[in-house]
Amino acid sequence: MNNTHFKKVCLLGDFAVGKTSLVRRYVDAQFSDEYLSTVGVKISRKHIEMTSRKTGELLRAQVILWDLEGSTLLASTNESYLKGAAGAIVVGDVTRQDTIANIKTHITAFLRINPNGFLVVSYNKSDLMAGPRSFVSPLSFEGHDRVLDSIVTSAKSGEHIEHLFGVLCRKLVDP
Amino acid sequence: MEFLTLPLFHRKAVEYVCFDDSFRIASFSADAARYADDRDAVAMGGDIRLAFPELAGFENDMLSMLRGSSNPILVRNISRSRMDDTPAGIDLSIETTRTGDTLHGIVLLEDVSERLRIEQQLVQQSNEAKLLLQSITAAKTYFERIIDSLADALFVTTNDGIIRTVNRAATDLFGYHKGELIGRSIQTIIGTQELLPSDSNLTNAELTCTTKQGSRIPVAFSRSFMRHEGPVEESIFLGRDLRERKNAEAEINKLRSTNLYLNEEIQAEHNFEEIIGTAPVMKKLFRQIEKVAATDSTVLLEGETGTGKELFARAIHNLSSRKKNVLVKVNCAALPAGLVESELFGHEKGAFTGAFARKVGRFEFANEGTIFLDEIGELPLETQVKLLRVLQEREFERVGGTESIRTNVRVVAASNRNLEEQVQLGAFRSDLYFRLRVFPLRIPPLRERRDDIPFLADYFIRKFSLRMHKRIEGLHPDTLERMIQYDWPGNVRELAATLERAIILCEGGQLHDIDLSEFGLKGIGRKPSALEDVEREHILQVLRESDGVIEGKNGAAIRLKMNASTLRSRMKKLGIQRRGAGFI
Ligand SMILES: Nc1nc2c(ncn2[C@@H]2O[C@H](COP(=O)(O)OP(=O)(O)OP(=O)(O)O)[C@@H](O)[C@H]2O)c(=O)[nH]1
Ligand SMILES: [Mg+2]
């Protein structure tokens, strides 16, 4: 247990976009339609294992998920929530345009504290999207080298949840 | 959420855990394990990050704190997904504590469950309210977007026409800012034209509206009513910019007329493909046509029905420098009397009932080209004045218009009536007649060029049999002879139609037994007996010798040793008619 790797990963995004739900889906494989606002931070951990793509050895890590309160982002007192994070998942709600537009702000805030961190973007609640399941972001993340991917997800249906967390964890644990 | 200090809730005792520089737990307070995520890790002096996972990531800060070069860190309102009987809310701070010379790392843990519960309720309420507001705003934005996406200008007004809101198309179309329109009367836009009483429904009413810049634009307005609970009522005005449609209409109009004329041209094409003439009269005619075509002179083609006046008009056009431009045909006899003028000269919108849009007339359309006025004798007297003016001054006005339109059109007129006679009867203006007669060309009837009949027959038999995919070996010599003898009152047209009919009926081989009188004009077209034929030819011959004069000492009557009135009735019986200066 001595050489356990800890990786702090934050979930950022406007309130009620589904941060808590994404974590719950990923960690406990559960989902609830009820909305319970998160205050402060809710900590979850997930033990992950993967084979190193370079050495083939088995890599283990404790991913500590910081599911943050949606409405506190820019308060300076909450700098400690972001501090020391290796990565972040920035979430927007595809049914609420504002939350998508704010994704960029969250990314900037995170990178200001953790300039070397990595991010993935989740366009969440894809199950509520009508029509074909493609989401064209109004923001251009191309060239933003810290953002690894932008993924359409649904905490409700589970769509692309493993991929969302997997992309980030792989980068953090097996860089 | 700002830090809430609620004195109501007494501070629980603060627990602590001390750690060394390899993040191992060194010591802890009695109840500290209750705050840990992994209680065994606390008891066994394991990695403090296993006990308190929220410390992961702060390693560097913790180390520099132990070196005395970093400030304490406070993490408020921590909860964990795995709760057991852990406090629901924890404030955690990383600090240092000094024992003698040594700095120890210390994590202070405080149970803030009660405060968190209160804060959570507040945040919950606030977020739910914000969500509701957001969805209302979203719905509003959504409907505003719909309204702004409308291509039509939309005005919502009160009962008495005060504008309450407008969409983007409205501000764009009329050049106002939204703020300038709200509070004003809709009359600003639609003028004082038709509006109010409030219960009048407007449907696609074409109104001339004024923009802010003062330009007048045609807009189709519809009004509908929006009923609310109670007495308040609002009107919705929807206005569609008609400018483009008007232009399109004009365009379509023009295209339509082109199409119309083209159809006529195509039909004309099928009348007779080419002029076949070997007879000396025809050769002379061809030379005349070549000469006159090169000029811009007006040409009057006179000839019986079916002689192919249209072909000659086309020949004149094609031999002229106007060849690359349009040849417009107008059959004056085919136009309804009331519409002749607007067909020829066009009309302005509203010039008469049914004139919904401006129409370009055929003279305007034929600009730079040639206009062929067939059956000019049928033109109403009033229109003749206008035509005269075009010929003299090369300009005209549209019906209902005041603007003079200049035109450069070559006129070729044709008549199968004796125009001179028409003039004498007062049915045709003499001034127009002389204007048209600048270059008169007489197209001879077929019976005056019987030598051409075999060639024409051959031409048409080939043409029709090819079209009908029939093998026709030509005419039986007897039949051809009969055809040459026949008078063809319907001229080349009759010849063509007769052969076409014969070929339809023919199974193949040689054509014979053709019914020649089928298409002839009644009265004139009857087949004359051999004796009458001789008599007729003789009278015509004498009439020619006497220059068409019947009475008097050099008249035909005296030469024929007949009473003048007897000669006249005889001529009538034989179908001899005055035609121009002579008789046929
Ligand atoms: N249909 C659908 N609903 C979702 C999805 N994800 C979350 N929700 C719902 O969205 C609401 C908010 O979800 P949370 O996970 O609490 O959102 P949050 O981002 O953690 O919100 P805060 O903690 O207030 O910042 C809840 O009612 C969830 O059930 C999803 O993928 N699809
Ligand atoms: Mg949450």
pLDDT digits (tens, 9 = 90+) for A81-102: 999 999 999 999 988 888 888 8
Whether residue B421 is found in the same domain as residue B466: no
**pLDDT (average), residues B297-325:** 87
B255 or B335, higher pLDDT: B335
Whether residue B273 is found in the same domain as residue B234: no
CATH of the domain at B34: 3.30.450.20
Listed residues B421, B442, B463: the one ending a domain? B442
Whether residue B194 is found in the same domain as residue B228: yes
Report for A97-111, B167-181, B430-444: range of highest mean pLDDT: B167-181
**pLDDT (average), residues A14-26:** 96
Pairwise CA distance, residues B329 & B341, whole Å: 15
**Nearest by Cα to B31 from B129, B92, B111, B88:** B111
pLDDT of residue B529: 54
CB-nearest to A80 from B73, B119, B127 is B73
B258, with CB counted inside 10 A (0-12, 13-18, 19+), is middle
From chain A, the residues in CB contact with B73 under 8 A are 80, 83
Contact of B45 with chain A, judged by CB distance below 8 Å, is answered with no
pLDDT of residue B268: 41
CB-nearest to A42 from B3, B74, B80 is B80
CATH of the domain at B259: 3.40.50.300
Percent of chain B with pLDDT over 70: 87
B404 or B200, higher pLDDT: B404
Contact of A62 with chain B, judged by CB distance below 8 Å, is answered with yes
pLDDT of residue A114: 93
Instruction: Give the number of A-B residue pairs with CB atoms closer than 8 Å.
Output: 105
* Poorest-pLDDT segment among B127-136, B175-184, B401-410, B521-530: B521-530
* Distance from Cα A128 to the centre of ligand 2, integer Å: 19
Taking the CA of residue B204 and the nearest CA in chain A, the distance in Å comes to 36
CATH of the domain at A19: 3.40.50.300
Residue B197, preceding bond cis, omega within 30 degrees?
yes
Three-state DSSP at B475 gives: strand
**Nearest by Cα to B539 from B509, B576, B487:** B576
Listed residues B519, B542, B562: the one ending a domain? B519
Whether residue B500 is found in the same domain as residue B432: no
Whether residue B340 is found in the same domain as residue B479: no
Strands B102-111 and B216-227: unpaired
Residue nearest atom 28 in ligand 1 by C-alpha distance: A33
Query: Which ligand has an atom closest to residue A93 CA?
Result: 1
Q: Is the pTM for the entire model greater than 0.80?
A: no
**Nearest by Cα to B237 from B198, B293, B284:** B198
**Nearest by Cα to B15 from B80, B83, B106:** B106
Tokens at A148, concatenated:
């690894």
Whether residue B432 is found in the same domain as residue B467: no
Whether residue B288 is found in the same domain as residue B399: yes
Of ligand 1's atoms, which has the minimum distance to the CA of residue A157?
31
Domain limits for position B14: 2-111
Is residue B524 one of the residues assigned to a domain? Answer: no
A65, with CB counted inside 10 A (0-12, 13-18, 19+), is buried
CB B52 within 8 A of CB B37: yes
| B307 CB-near residues (< 8 Å, 6+ apart) | B416, B443, B444, B445, B446, B491, B492, B493
Question: A89 has which bridge partners?
Answer: A11, A120
How many CB atoms are located within 10 Å of the residue B112 CB? 25
Is residue B144 one of the residues assigned to a domain? Answer: no
Reported confidence tier of residue B6, pLDDT bands at 50, 70, 90 = very low
- As for how many domains chain B has, the answer is 5
B2 or A155, higher pLDDT: A155
Whether residue B512 is found in the same domain as residue B565: no
Provide DSSP, A78-111. GHHHHTT-SEEEEEEETT-HHHHHTHHHHHHHHH
Terminal-residue alpha carbon distance, chain A: 21
On average, the pLDDT of chain B sits at 82
Is residue B225 one of the residues assigned to a domain? Answer: yes
Pairwise CA distance, residues B581 & B442, whole Å: 11
Query: Which ligand has an atom closest to residue A95 CA?
Result: 1
Angle (deg, nearest 10), helices A19-28 and A161-173: 80
Contact of A25 with chain B, judged by CB distance below 8 Å, is answered with no
- Kindly provide the ipTM of the predicted complex, given to two decimals: 0.91
Percent of chain B with pLDDT over 90: 23
pLDDT of residue A102: 87
Question: CA-based angle B88:B92:B94, to the nearest 5?
Answer: 165
pLDDT of residue A72: 54
Tokens at B391, concatenated:
């010929």
Contact of A116 with chain B, judged by CB distance below 8 Å, is answered with no
* Distance from Cα A22 to the centre of ligand 2, integer Å: 9
Chain segment B100-122, per-residue pLDDT in tens: 888 889 999 999 999 999 999 99
Is residue B90 one of the residues assigned to a domain? Answer: yes
CB B326 within 8 A of CB B360: no
Query: Which ligand has an atom closest to residue A70 CA?
Result: 1
Listed residues B241, B274, B305: the one ending a domain? B241
**Residue of chain B whose alpha carbon sits nearest to that of A41:** B78
**Residue of chain B whose alpha carbon sits nearest to that of A3:** B47
Chain segment B495-535, per-residue pLDDT in tens: 888 888 888 877 777 777 676 655 443 333 344 456 677 77
Q: Pocket residues for ligand 1 (CB within 6 Å)?
A: A 13, 15-21, 32-35, 37-38, 69-70, 124-125, 127-128, 154-156; B 127
From chain B, the residues in CB contact with A85 under 8 A are 57
Chain segment B458-488, per-residue pLDDT in tens: 888 888 888 888 888 778 888 888 888 888 8
**Nearest by Cα to B276 from B460, B413, B519:** B460
pLDDT of residue A9: 97
Domain limits for position A109: 4-173
CB-nearest to A39 from B75, B81, B120 is B120
**pLDDT (average), residues B301-311:** 88
Is residue B456 one of the residues assigned to a domain? Answer: yes
Is residue B347 one of the residues assigned to a domain? Answer: yes
- As for how many domains chain A has, the answer is 1
Provide DSSP, B293-332. HTS---EEEEE-TTS-HHHHHHHHHHHSGGGGS-EEEEET
Whether residue B346 is found in the same domain as residue B464: no
Which residue of A30, A45, A94, A99 is the best one to mutate when testing the B interface, meaning the one whose CB has the most B CBs within 10 A?
A45
Contact of B79 with chain A, judged by CB distance below 8 Å, is answered with yes
CATH of the domain at B486: 1.10.8.60
What are the backbone angles phi and psi of residue B572, rounded to the nearest 5°? -65, -45
Is residue B22 one of the residues assigned to a domain? Answer: yes
Whether residue B504 is found in the same domain as residue B419: no
**pLDDT (average), residues B278-298:** 84
Provide DSSP, B372-388. EEETGGGS-HHHHHHHH
* Distance from Cα B27 to the centre of ligand 2, integer Å: 34
**Residue of chain B whose alpha carbon sits nearest to that of A1:** B47
Contact (CB<8Å) A41/B120:
no
Residue nearest atom 29 in ligand 1 by C-alpha distance: A33
pLDDT of residue B582: 63
